[in-house]
Amino acid sequence: MHAADLGMGVLPSHQGVGLGRRLLDRAIEDMRSFDGIDRLELTVLATNTHARRMYERAGFVEEGVKRRSLRQPNGRYEDEVIMALWVGES
């Protein structure tokens, strides 16, 4: 196994002040120095443009879309985007 799943969240009261980016940078840094993990993966709601942009700026690349993969409490289906970052040797 050489891939790890990444999931993250910041309390609404603390969003927008740079914590998310710092947490993400730290997770990437840790995984780069962690022997055996070469790839970080995540899924993010397609409508979550703020988070998608944050991941892209950190180097994550969109690899595909899971169409209508999440069913919301209101019955609506939403797409999820698969993103990944290579953290192993090039």
Ligand X SMILES: CC(C)(COP(=O)(O)OP(=O)(O)OC[C@H]1O[C@@H](n2cnc3c(N)ncnc32)[C@H](O)[C@@H]1OP(=O)(O)O)[C@@H](O)C(=O)NCCC(=O)NCCS
Binding site for ligand X (CB under 6 A): 8-10, 15-21, 42, 44, 48, 50-51, 54, 57
Nearer to ligand X, 35 or 81 (CB): 81
Nearer to ligand X, 18 or 64 (CB): 18
Q: What is d(CA 66, CA 19) in angstroms, rounded to the nearest whole number?
A: 28
Nearer to ligand X, 50 or 67 (CB): 50
Shortest distance, position 1 Cβ to ligand X, whole Å: 21
Helix, strand and coil percent figures for the chain, each rounded to 5: 30, 35, 35
By the 8 A CB rule, do 78 and 54 touch? no
